[in-house]
Structure 1
Amino acid sequence: MAFTFFNCKKNRSANDISGTWKMVYAKIIENDSTMVKDLSHTEFIKIINDSHFAFFNQDLNNDENFYGGGGTYLLNGDDYQEVLSYTSAKHLKDHSFSFKVQFKGDTLI
C-alpha cells in the first residue's frame, strides 16, 4: 500500500516522523492491482509521538462512519512498522503493518 500524508507540523528534522499528519492521497497496491482511494468525503488523521501512533477517519457526510485505532510503531531508516493494538476491528487487532516511508519537504510518503 502507498499512502501520502501531509504534515501539519513545521520545522521538523529530516527523519522526525512525530507530528500530526493528514492524508491527502492514498494509493493501494495489492498483488497486481492498484487503486487510488477517493478522499473527497473523508478526513484521515494520524498522530505519531516517540513511541505510539493513533489515527481516526471521519466520513464528512455521515457521523456514523467513524473509526480509529492506535498502537506502537518502529522506524528504522525508511522501514516503518505499526502494530495495531487498539481498534474495534477485531480481525485487525494486534496485526502488524509494514511500509516504506520517505520525506519530501513537509510530506510523508
Structure 2
Amino acid sequence: MRIKSLYALLFICFIISSCLNESKSQVEVQEVSPITGTWKLLKGTIIQGNDTTITDYTINADFIKIITDTHFAFMRHDLGMDSVAVYVSGGGRCEVKDNKYIEHLDFCNYREWEGHTFSFDFEIVGDTLTTKGIEKIEDLGVEQFNIEQYVRVD
C-alpha cells in the first residue's frame, strides 16, 4: 500500500511540475519589443515642403515618451517659469510590427489631433531610438515628415 501511495505522490508531483514548466515556457515566448520603455526626446526635425524646422529638446524643455506593448503616452513641458508656459500631452494605443511603430492618438490636449493614426519606421542603435514618418491630417492641412531622436531613460 505504501508503494502505491509513493507512486501516486510521484505522479502528482510530475503532473504539477509539467504544468509549471508549460506555463513558464508560455511566458517566455512573449518577447518584449526593444522599443518598449521610457524615452527622452533629444531632437525633432519637421519637414513641410521645402521648409525644415529642427528643434533641440534638451534646451529649456523636457519631453518624454513612454511605450508599452499596447499603449504610449508623451508629455512635454518647458522649463521656463514665465507666463507663457507650454505643456503638451497625449497618448493612446500603439502597435509594433518589425521596424514599424504605429500610434493611434486617442488623447491629446490638441483635440483636433485625436483619432488619427501615425505610422513610423524606427531604428534603435545602442540607447538611441530614431523614428521617421509622415504625419498627415487633411482637415488641418497638416502633412509633414517627422524625424525624432530619443535616448532611453530606462
Same fold (TM over 0.5): yes
Q: 2:36, 2:64 → 1: CA distance?
A: 13
Matches within 5 A, 1:91-102: 91-102=112-123
- Is 1:79–2:100 an aligned residue pair? yes
Deviations 1:5-56 (A, max 9, x none): xxxxxxxx9x511100001111112233321113211111000111000010
Tell me: higher relative CO, structure 1 or 2? Use CA pairs within 8 A at least 6 residues apart: 1
Quote the residue 1:6 is aligned against: none
Moved over 2 A (4+): 30-33
- Is 1:29–2:31 an aligned residue pair? no
Query: What are the ranges of 5 or more consecutive residues in structure 2 without an aligned counterpart?
Result: 1-30, 131-154
Quote the residue 1:60 is aligned against: 79
Matches within 5 A, 1:43-54: 43-54=62-73
Identity level (%): 38
| Superposed displacement of residue 102, structure 1 | 0.4
Q: What TM-score comes out, normalization by structure 2 length?
A: 0.57
Q: 1:101, 1:31 → 2: CA distance?
A: 22
Bigger radius of gyration among the two: 2
- Is 1:16–2:34 an aligned residue pair? yes
More strand by percentage: 1
Q: What TM-score comes out, normalization by structure 1 length?
A: 0.79
Task: Read off the aligned partner of 1:59 and give its amino acid letter.
Answer: D
Q: 2:120, 2:112 → 1: CA distance?
A: 20
Query: What are the ranges of 5 or more consecutive residues in structure 1 without an aligned counterpart?
Result: 1-12
Quote the residue 2:61 is aligned against: 42
Q: 1:31, 1:44 → 2: CA distance?
A: 26
| Superposed displacement of residue 58, structure 1 | 0.8
Q: 1:36, 1:107 → 2: CA distance?
A: 18
Aligned residues between the structures: 97
Cα pair 2:69 2:95 within 8 Å, conserved: no
